[in-house]
Amino acid sequence: MVSVSKKKNLLGYDLDALNALMAELGGKPFHARQLLKWMHARGVNDFDVMTDLSKALREKLKTHYSISPPRVLERFNSQDGTRKWLLQAGALQAIEMVFIPEGKRGTLCISSQVGCALDCSFCSTGAQGFNRNLNTAEIVSQVWLANHELGAYGDEGLVAVPDEEDVAEDTSAEDPNEEGLATRVTNVVFMGMGEPLANYRQVLPALNILTCDYAYMLSRRRVTVSTSGLVPQLKKLGADSNVALAVSLHAPDDQLRDQLVPINRKHPIKELLEQCWTYLAETSGRSITFEYTLIDGVNDQPSQAKELAALLKGHPAKVNLIPFNPFPGNDFQRSKAKAIRAFRDVLHKHDIRATVRKTRGDDIDAACGQLAGQVSDRVKVRLGSKQFTVVSA
């Protein structure tokens, strides 16, 4: 018998991969669909429970494959209902995921890498350096595990949640309804540790699983990929998927963005925005959300709001204003409440949709930009530097 640690984790297999596997094992395409339902829609990780699969097929699966969620190292619960988990990601490595309940909506913020190579100056994850990409199973298993932790798998398993608009603003409500908080994952945002598009080869099948009718049954507007601006991979995403898109902008001009988001030195604002509008055209999307972290005295002036409005005016764009969340070793300060309101009002005056994200989970370091995990053997590089090559495997 192959040891569990050496077995291939089926949580990372999308429908195409399972179809190929079933053909290899002598199964049929409908077996692939059944297996997806058992794993993701019902949350089962015991092959013996999957009684509509033949015993011979189950024995083959047990011999060489597993359904293995990550180990929870620590759990954190915020006073506002936000929950955070520290998950093992190999020896001496750990990642974090965060669940944010708002009314019936339950948004899970998941990680795609151990650490991050972007080194954005206002982000705790980037300050940790970069170790490696997560594989598809490690990405998807965060959703699987969160649903188990939340008690979402009932006797009938998960059911499809109704479609909704404006998914990229899921965590942006200024006055969220705290009554009857969600107890299952209804929305997934790739806004945890790492740059999703720098791990494109593993993220794409994860998106396929999340939106598959036999797995999590999430509509494309309920799954959001956030990127700091990897334009070549953004082009691929437009051709290969049609999920919602959020872009970490954080500055209205190249000079400032070069300092805050170093990838801008390789893909400046004009190039990034042109690809954003192309993405919308190719995917028939409604709009793109631009994330803008407000830092006191750095990027929060009314004149900068006017520059930002000029960049986005006439395009289907929304701005998510995020008050900076402090973390150890960083000297930036959160913008004053008055400055945040003034910045928002300037955008509104120029007909740009803008909301201020309510800070959630900051008492457990689960707010935007605070995720740190545990990154060992890290490589301190920047995606915008000549020394870095995007790793696809």
CATH 1.10.150.530 residue spans of the chain: 4-66
How confident is the model over 47-60, as a mean pLDDT? Answer: 96
Which CATH number is associated with domain 72-364?
A: 3.20.20.70
**Where does the chain hold its CATH 3.20.20.70 domain(s)?**
72-364
Q: What is the pLDDT of residues 176-228, one digit of tens each?
A: 444 567 889 999 999 999 999 999 999 999 999 999 999 999 999 999 999 99
| Global pTM value | 0.88
Name the least confident of 96-110, 133-147, 178-192: 178-192
The full 3-state SS of the chain, as one line of letters, equals: CCCHHHCEEHHHCCHHHHHHHHHHHCCCHHHHHHHHHHHHHCCCCCHHHCCCCCHHHHHHHHHHEECCCCCEEEEEECCCCCEEEEEECCCCCEEEEEEEEECCEEEEECCCEEECCCCCCCCHHHHCCEEEECCHHHHHHHHHHHHHHCCCCCCCCCCCCCCCCCHHHCCCCCCCCCCCCCCCCCEEEECCCCCHHHHHHHHHHHHHHHCCCCCCCCCHHHEEEEECCCHHHHHHHHHHCCCEEEEECCCCCHHHHHHHCHHHHCCCHHHHHHHHHHHHHHHCCCCEEEEEEEECCCCCCHHHHHHHHHHHCCCCEEEEEEECCCCCCCCCCECCHHHHHHHHHHHHHCCCEEEECCCCCHHHCCCCCCCCCECCCCECCCCCCCCCCCCCC
Catalytic residue among 109, 123, 276, 368: 368
Q: Domain 4-66 classified CATH 1.10.3720.10?
A: no
Structure confidence by residue, pLDDT tens digits, 280-327: 999 887 899 999 999 999 999 999 999 999 999 999 999 999 999 887
The reported pLDDT for the residue numbered 246 is: 96
Residue tagged active-site, from 59, 74, 96, 164: 96
pLDDT at 127 over 90: no
pLDDT category at 363 given cuts 50, 70, 90 is low
Whether 195 is catalytic: no
pLDDT above 70 (res 175): no
Higher pLDDT pick, 261 / 357: 261
